[in-house]
Amino acid sequence: MTEVRTRFAPSPTGYLHIGGLRTALYAWLFARNANGKFILRIEDTDRQREVEGATELIYRTMRETGLDYDEGPDIGGPVGPYIQTQRQDLYKKYADMLVDCGGAYYCFCTKEELDAKREAVESAGGTYRYDRACMDIPVEEARRRIAAGEPYVVRQRIPDSGEAFFDDLVFGRISVPVEELEDGVLLKTDGLPTYNFANVVDDSLMGITHIIRGTEYLSSTPKYNLIYQAYGWDIPQYIHVPPVMRDAQHKLSKRHGDASYEDFTSKGYLKDAILNYIALLGWNPGTTQEIFTLEELQKAFHVEGLSKSPAIFDVAKLNWMNAEYIRALSAEAFTENALPWYRKVLEPTAEQCSILCRILQPRLEIFGQIPEKIVFLAALPEYEPALFEHKKMKTDQPLALRVLKSVLPKLEAEPVWTEEAVHAALLATVAELGVKNGQVFWPVRIALTGMAVSPGGADEAAALLGREEGLRRLRFGIELLEKNA
């Protein structure tokens, strides 16, 4: 039985886009599910769009997400090199071979000639297609002109009649009349291949058995098969996956600034949640299960679950899933992930980390929400006395003032502030004033945090701030209310 070999072949044009990561994930899952090989190839022939450092970013993202590859540019393998620009001599060799096979020809039309022909056709209301002016130049003559230094390209020779087709494991057979296809360029004047040619040569030479990629290649794949057929090569199996959309009309697109994997991790999403979520964008496990480890995905993944329909990227659903992953973390893992976000506000003590873990872990969707939730720990925000009012709790400014004046001496008498000590003092104030718990806890929390919404309650806020700062803020709250009385 032939070993399954899949590949992920990104272009180094920036951060790894979320749609590209999903393609990598599916190719990895398919290979691992079949006990096959997963190959990383860098397709860098589009030199104008290449971004410095992007290749290293691809390596790093693959490592971080656990999508290990068996062969690749940085680890080597038996069919390297795995970077296209390092394979340039191969493409020239195989382009000449394709000419000899009758699947291509040398073209000497200049850019000016082609532009003039295009303009003439389009000005007459037509749609330009290359007129095959060089198709019948004898190969010997063409090669003499090339040897003399004349610039040229290599064009695919589309058959004169019939249909080009391919079979896809998701979409079935896709066919197109050959008269609708153009003799496209395979090898450019600079000796670099176009994507259409390089990926066919590379996939064949690297023994790729299954090609997993986006549906944007559905229309061009029949032309690829013509190249395979011209060489007499085995044709791989195709699995085209639906696009990831940001809404019903627009695809997620790296060119249009849509989110990359790095964008999400920099906002505080967990990599495991990202992988879990994108796995379900266009694939259905056939069960109601939504939370998967990478190992569980590997066992569950099957082509039958892939959809033909586009998948809408739902940030709210990703947030829900990320929250589920956050809640499942151990306290140690939560704190490890949270620390960089705490440090945007303060350098927390071990005690503060313990309290923050307890009050934040059940409430967070993403770690990037932490700074805004704990900003009060760095400094008391400016707030208006009206914030002490709460209609539902029947708390107004005069009552808030009474509460704070009653609470302050009780807390001043506490030499060490703990949540338990603060809580007891607040309950003593409830009993002393004959009010409800909320009518005491609300104004105290407002005085301590200066925020209508903050994590935890008044006793937790007090413990986080410590005795000196907590008392200072309570006194400030009293002054503020007295001035406004």
Residue positions annotated with a catalytic role? 254
> What does residue 154 show for φ and ψ, rounded to 5 degrees?
-110, 125
Q: Are 457 and 393 in contact (CB under 8 A)?
A: no
Which residues, 6 or more positions from 314, have their beta carbon under 8 angstroms from its beta carbon? none
Q: How is residue 445 written in tokens?
A: 């929390």
Closest listed residue to residue 340, CA positions, set 423, 288, 268, 276: 268
CA angle 280, 68, 297 (to 5 degrees): 30
On whether the CB atoms of residues 166 and 174 are closer than 8 A, the answer is: yes
Please give, one letter per residue, the 3-state secondary structure of the chain: CCCCEEEECCCCCCCCEHHHHHHHHHHHHHHHHCCCEEEECECCCCCCCCCCCHHHHHHHHHHHHCCCCCEECCCECCCCCCEHHHHHHHHHHHHHHHHHHCCEEEECCCHHHHHHHHHHHHHCCCCCCCCCCCCCCCHHHHHHHHHCCCCCEEEECCCCCCEEEEEECCCEEEEEEHHHCCCCEEECCCCCECHHHHHHHHHHHCCCCEEEEEHHHCCCHHHHHHHHHHHCCCCCEEEEECCEECCCCCECCCCCCCCEHHHHHHCCCCHHHHHHHHHCCCECCCCCCCCCCHHHHHHHCCHHHECCCCEECCHHHHHHHHHHHHHCCCHHHHHHHHHHHHCCCCCCCHHHHHHHHHHHCCCCCCHHHHHHHHHHHCCCCCCCHHHHCECCCCECHHHHHHHHHHHHHHHHCCCCCCHHHHHHHHHHHHHHHCCCHHHHHHHHHHHHHCCCCCCCCHHHHHHHHCHHHHHHHHHHHHHHHHHHC
Q: Which amino acid is at 7?
A: R
The answer to whether 222 touches 159, Cβ cutoff 8 Å, is no
